[in-house]
Amino acid sequence: MIARGLLVPRSRGEEIRQDLLEAGLLRPDLAIRREADSLILPLSGPPEEVPASWGEIVEREFREVRPKGPVRYRDLLPWPEAEKEILPRSFDVVGEVVLIRLPSELEGRKAEIGEALLRFVPGTRLVGLDHGVHGPDRRRAVERIAGTGPWRTRHRENGVELEVDVERAYFSPRLSREHARVAEAVRPGERVYDLCCGVGPFSMAIAGRARAAHVTAVDANPDAIELLRATLERYPVGGRVSPQVARLEEFLPNTAPVERVVMNLPHEGIKYLPSVARTAVAGGHLYYYEVVPRSEIGRRGNTLVNALSPVGTFMVAAQRVVHPYSPASDLVAFELERQG
Ligand SMILES: C[S@@+](CC[C@H](N)C(=O)[O-])C[C@H]1O[C@@H](n2cnc3c(N)ncnc32)[C@H](O)[C@@H]1O
């Protein structure tokens, strides 16, 4: 059948297939097409939701595939197809916990949706309605809609089982490849600041690869640091991660500059950026995350570099869309290199 697809270089095919899967945008009933050095991934969502940097939207003939069993949780709901239209395509799996956001029209049917997810996702113990992250500690408000037990769980990411509590400290499984990408860039012997570290997924990925000499992991939320300490009890990584409860305002003054600095505080990070940038040595790299309106992504890197000119000379070494954030904005990773 003819359908919309995303044309991507074969070398990035698996990475972008994962991105689409996590965003609920990969169509499961059509087979991926191969054309010379490209793949065409069948799309199930509105093409505007696919970040432009992931590939080109095309129309092609796709082969239909008949998967065994339900391919989507909605297949487990005995509702008329028209009523399923407003069901979200995506949800997050954090260890044994599944989190989903629902539009207000589905509030009265949340228990049924929770039961469907409990049956659909293997290994799920608890399903929560995700009411978003709030407050300075970015804690998630969650409401149990199916299953039992605590919100605390262990989530496997980049070879480590992280201690996570989806209610007490921020964690998103959508950042796993970003954590790995940054870890891969770290060279042996480098010192790293993981600022706003949450439960420490960047720190664990970096130290787990045995490259960094030392990672200082800082967060204002004591629960996040307690969870990171609990992970470190099981994965001591040679004592190379030092967790610290501190606000950036306390930590940043008088800290020695290091080779890599990660700051993942996408909505407020901009106010700390100059003082964070001062903690990078010349030749050092700063990984800065921001939610950016899609129309401004192309200009944003240079705007950041100009804003940092009183601190030093920076260049945009790389930038990438991590995932779509809203219909008109993306979470973007900026890698800024200090030149002087
Ligand atoms: C988006 S989460 C990032 C979590 C983590 N880096 C990750 O990749 O999962 C932002 C974190 O910043 C912390 N935070 C917010 N304001 C802070 C501040 N002023 N100083 C230190 N940490 C702060 C919050 O407690 C939260 O854990």
Could you tell me the pLDDT band of residue 22, with boundaries at 50, 70 and 90? confident
Encode the chain in three state secondary structure.
CEEEEEEEEHHHHHHHHHHHHHCCCECCCECCEEECCEEEEEECCCHHHCCHHHCEEEEEECCECCCCCCCCHHHHCCCCHHHHHHCCCCCEEECCEEEECCCHHHHHHHHHHHHHHHHHCCCCCEEEEEEEEECCCCEEEEEEEEECCCCEEEEEECCEEEEEECCCCCCCHHHHHHHHHHHHHCCCCCEEEEECCCCCHHHHHHHHCCCCCEEEEEECCHHHHHHHHHHHHHCCHHHCEEEEECCHHHHCCCCCCEEEEEECCCCCHHHCHHHHHCCEEEEEEEEEEEEEEHHHHHHHHHHHHHHCCCCCCEEEEEEEEEEEEECCEEEEEEEEEECC
Q: How far apart are CA 18 and CA 26, in angstroms?
A: 9
Could you tell me the pLDDT band of residue 12, with boundaries at 50, 70 and 90? confident
212 pLDDT more than 90: no
Measure 218 CA to ligand 1 centroid, in angstroms: 8
Per cent of the chain over pLDDT 90 is 81
Q: How far apart are CA 320 and CA 185, in angstroms?
A: 14
Q: How far apart are CA 322 and CA 292, in angstroms?
A: 11
Q: Minimal CA–CA distance to 31: which of 3, 52, 53?
A: 3
Average pLDDT over residues 156-180: 95
Q: How far apart are CA 136 and CA 138, in angstroms?
A: 5
Could you tell me the pLDDT band of residue 50, with boundaries at 50, 70 and 90? confident
Average pLDDT over residues 94-113: 96
Give strand pairing partners of 169: none
Q: Take atom 25 of ligand 1 and give the residue whose Cα is closest.
A: 137
Average pLDDT over residues 271-282: 97
Which of 206, 265, 332 gets mutated to test ligand 1 (max ligand atoms within 8 A of its CB)? Answer: 265
Q: Which residues line ligand 1 (CB under 6 A)?
A: 136-138, 170-172, 175, 196-198, 201-202, 219-221, 224, 247-248, 264-265
Q: Ligand 1, closest atom to CA 289?
A: 1
Phi/psi of residue 264, each to 5°?
-115, 85
Q: Ligand 1, closest atom to CA 262?
A: 6
Which of 133, 134, 138 gets mutated to test ligand 1 (max ligand atoms within 8 A of its CB)? Answer: 138
Average pLDDT over residues 270-282: 97
What pLDDT is stored for residue 319 in this prediction? 96
Could you tell me the pLDDT band of residue 15, with boundaries at 50, 70 and 90? confident
Q: Take atom 6 of ligand 1 and give the residue whose Cα is closest.
A: 197
Is the separation of the CB atoms in 170 and 135 below 8 Å?
Answer: no
Average pLDDT over residues 265-286: 97
Q: Ligand 1, closest atom to CA 247?
A: 20
What pLDDT is stored for residue 278 in this prediction? 97
Q: Ligand 1, closest atom to CA 266?
A: 1
Could you tell me the pLDDT band of residue 70, with boundaries at 50, 70 and 90? confident
What pLDDT is stored for residue 44 in this prediction? 86
Which of 219, 221, 263, 272 gets mutated to test ligand 1 (max ligand atoms within 8 A of its CB)? Answer: 219
- Taking all residues of the chain, what is their mean pLDDT, rounded to a whole number? 94
What pLDDT is stored for residue 54 in this prediction? 86
Q: How far apart are CA 294 and CA 136, in angstroms?
A: 25
Measure 196 CA to ligand 1 centroid, in angstroms: 3
Measure 198 CA to ligand 1 centroid, in angstroms: 5
Is the separation of the CB atoms in 279 and 255 below 8 Å?
Answer: yes
295 pLDDT more than 80: yes
91 pLDDT more than 80: yes
Measure 56 CA to ligand 1 centroid, in angstroms: 34
Could you tell me the pLDDT band of residue 49, with boundaries at 50, 70 and 90? confident
Is the separation of the CB atoms in 261 and 192 below 8 Å?
Answer: yes
